[in-house]
Amino acid sequence: MKKIIKNNDDAIIYIYDGENASLSNVLEHCAINNISLKGANLKDADLRGAKLDGLDLQNANLIGAKFHDASCYGVNFKSAVLRTASFMRADLRCADFTGADTRFCNMTYSRKDGAIFQGAVSFFRKGMPQSFICADGEVMTLDIIRMDGV
Protein backbone atom coordinates (compact mmCIF):
# COMPACT_ATOMS: atom_id res chain seq x y z
CA MET A 1 0.00 0.00 0.00
CA LYS A 2 1.39 3.42 -0.92
CA LYS A 3 1.21 6.61 1.10
CA ILE A 4 2.28 9.84 -0.58
CA ILE A 5 3.38 12.87 1.42
CA LYS A 6 3.27 16.21 -0.39
CA ASN A 7 4.32 19.75 0.43
CA ASN A 8 2.12 22.85 0.30
CA ASP A 9 2.80 23.25 -3.43
CA ASP A 10 1.41 19.72 -3.99
CA ALA A 11 4.84 18.38 -4.94
CA ILE A 12 5.65 14.86 -3.74
CA ILE A 13 8.37 14.81 -1.09
CA TYR A 14 8.13 11.18 0.04
CA ILE A 15 6.44 7.97 -1.11
CA TYR A 16 6.07 5.12 1.37
CA ASP A 17 5.36 1.70 -0.05
CA GLY A 18 4.77 -0.80 2.72
CA GLU A 19 2.22 -3.02 4.38
CA ASN A 20 0.84 -0.62 6.96
CA ALA A 21 0.65 2.85 5.45
CA SER A 22 -1.15 4.70 8.23
CA LEU A 23 0.19 8.23 8.54
CA SER A 24 1.58 7.52 12.01
CA ASN A 25 3.48 4.47 10.75
CA VAL A 26 4.86 6.36 7.75
CA LEU A 27 6.15 9.20 9.95
CA GLU A 28 7.60 6.72 12.45
CA HIS A 29 9.41 5.06 9.52
CA CYS A 30 10.78 8.46 8.44
CA ALA A 31 11.95 9.25 11.99
CA ILE A 32 13.74 5.89 12.38
CA ASN A 33 15.43 6.21 8.97
CA ASN A 34 16.33 9.92 9.25
CA ILE A 35 14.15 10.86 6.29
CA SER A 36 13.43 14.60 6.32
CA LEU A 37 9.88 15.80 5.81
CA LYS A 38 10.79 19.50 5.51
CA GLY A 39 7.85 21.45 4.17
CA ALA A 40 5.40 18.52 4.37
CA ASN A 41 1.70 19.33 4.28
CA LEU A 42 0.32 17.35 7.22
CA LYS A 43 -2.65 19.59 8.01
CA ASP A 44 -5.09 17.94 10.45
CA ALA A 45 -2.85 14.85 10.74
CA ASP A 46 -3.81 12.38 13.45
CA LEU A 47 -0.49 11.40 15.03
CA ARG A 48 -1.80 10.38 18.45
CA GLY A 49 0.64 8.06 20.18
CA ALA A 50 3.19 8.15 17.32
CA LYS A 51 6.92 7.79 18.02
CA LEU A 52 8.45 10.67 16.05
CA ASP A 53 11.72 11.17 17.96
CA GLY A 54 14.24 13.18 15.93
CA LEU A 55 11.94 13.71 12.92
CA ASP A 56 12.66 16.76 10.74
CA LEU A 57 9.40 18.68 10.24
CA GLN A 58 10.95 22.07 9.54
CA ASN A 59 8.56 24.41 7.66
CA ALA A 60 5.82 21.74 7.76
CA ASN A 61 2.13 22.63 7.69
CA LEU A 62 0.78 20.97 10.85
CA ILE A 63 -2.29 23.14 11.38
CA GLY A 64 -4.76 21.24 13.56
CA ALA A 65 -2.54 18.16 13.90
CA LYS A 66 -3.12 15.91 16.91
CA PHE A 67 -0.01 14.78 18.78
CA HIS A 68 -1.76 13.50 21.94
CA ASP A 69 0.54 11.12 23.86
CA ALA A 70 3.10 11.25 21.00
CA SER A 71 6.84 11.01 21.56
CA CYS A 72 8.40 14.03 19.84
CA TYR A 73 11.78 14.06 21.58
CA GLY A 74 14.16 16.29 19.61
CA VAL A 75 11.75 16.87 16.72
CA ASN A 76 12.67 19.81 14.47
CA PHE A 77 9.56 22.01 14.31
CA LYS A 78 11.57 25.09 13.20
CA SER A 79 9.35 27.55 11.30
CA ALA A 80 6.53 24.98 11.19
CA VAL A 81 2.91 26.15 11.21
CA LEU A 82 1.30 24.47 14.21
CA ARG A 83 -1.77 26.66 14.73
CA THR A 84 -4.43 24.85 16.78
CA ALA A 85 -2.29 21.70 17.00
CA SER A 86 -2.79 19.62 20.12
CA PHE A 87 0.14 18.15 22.06
CA MET A 88 -1.73 16.90 25.15
CA ARG A 89 0.56 14.69 27.27
CA ALA A 90 3.17 14.64 24.46
CA ASP A 91 6.90 14.29 25.10
CA LEU A 92 8.37 17.48 23.60
CA ARG A 93 11.70 17.35 25.41
CA CYS A 94 14.50 18.97 23.37
CA ALA A 95 12.10 19.73 20.48
CA ASP A 96 12.97 22.89 18.55
CA PHE A 97 10.09 25.30 17.92
CA THR A 98 12.35 28.19 16.81
CA GLY A 99 10.28 30.57 14.69
CA ALA A 100 7.28 28.22 14.67
CA ASP A 101 3.70 29.48 14.63
CA THR A 102 2.22 27.82 17.71
CA ARG A 103 -0.78 30.10 18.08
CA PHE A 104 -3.63 28.42 19.96
CA CYS A 105 -1.72 25.17 20.49
CA ASN A 106 -2.81 22.97 23.36
CA MET A 107 0.25 21.68 25.21
CA THR A 108 -1.57 20.64 28.38
CA TYR A 109 0.47 18.20 30.47
CA SER A 110 3.15 17.89 27.78
CA ARG A 111 6.75 17.49 28.86
CA LYS A 112 8.85 20.38 27.52
CA ASP A 113 12.19 20.36 29.37
CA GLY A 114 14.94 21.42 26.98
CA ALA A 115 12.46 22.50 24.27
CA ILE A 116 13.34 25.69 22.40
CA PHE A 117 10.64 28.31 21.71
CA GLN A 118 12.95 31.16 20.61
CA GLY A 119 11.13 33.51 18.27
CA ALA A 120 8.03 31.32 18.25
CA VAL A 121 4.70 33.08 17.78
CA SER A 122 2.61 31.63 20.58
CA PHE A 123 -0.85 32.66 21.63
CA PHE A 124 -2.39 29.96 23.77
CA ARG A 125 -6.16 29.86 24.11
CA LYS A 126 -7.17 32.68 26.42
CA GLY A 127 -7.89 31.39 29.87
CA MET A 128 -6.75 27.85 29.04
CA PRO A 129 -4.33 26.74 31.73
CA GLN A 130 -1.14 25.20 30.38
CA SER A 131 0.49 22.51 32.47
CA PHE A 132 4.22 21.98 32.23
CA ILE A 133 5.79 18.81 33.61
CA CYS A 134 9.11 19.84 35.12
CA ALA A 135 12.29 17.74 35.07
CA ASP A 136 11.66 16.60 38.64
CA GLY A 137 8.18 15.35 37.70
CA GLU A 138 6.38 18.22 39.43
CA VAL A 139 3.47 19.69 37.47
CA MET A 140 3.38 23.47 37.17
CA THR A 141 0.18 25.02 35.78
CA LEU A 142 0.14 28.53 34.35
CA ASP A 143 -2.69 30.56 32.89
CA ILE A 144 -0.85 31.86 29.84
CA ILE A 145 -2.29 34.57 27.62
CA ARG A 146 0.77 35.19 25.44
CA MET A 147 4.24 33.68 25.30
CA ASP A 148 6.82 35.03 22.86
CA GLY A 149 10.34 33.72 22.52
CA VAL A 150 10.28 31.77 25.77
Classify 8 in phi/psi space as left (phi over 0), alpha (psi -120 to 50) or beta. Answer: alpha
Domains and CATH numbers, the chain: 1-150 (2.160.20.80)
- pLDDT tens per residue across all 150 residues of the chain: 678 888 888 888 888 887 777 899 999 999 999 999 999 999 999 999 999 999 999 999 999 999 999 999 999 999 999 999 999 999 999 999 999 998 888 888 899 888 888 877 765 544 454 544 444 455 544 444 344 444
Cα dihedral sign, 23-48-121-94: negative
Rounded to two decimals, the pTM is 0.80
DSSP class per residue in 94-140: T-B-TT-B-TT-B-TTEE-TT-B-TT-EE-PPTT-EEEEE-TTS-EE
- Residue 147 has what pLDDT? 45
Question: How confident is the model at residue 149, as a pLDDT?
Answer: 42
d(CA 106, CA 127): 12
Beta strands in 8-128 (DSSP E): 12-17, 110-111, 121-122
Please give the Cα distance from 21 to 95 (Å, whole number).
Answer: 25
Q: What angle do CA 124, 129, 134 make, to 5 degrees?
A: 100
pLDDT at 123: 52
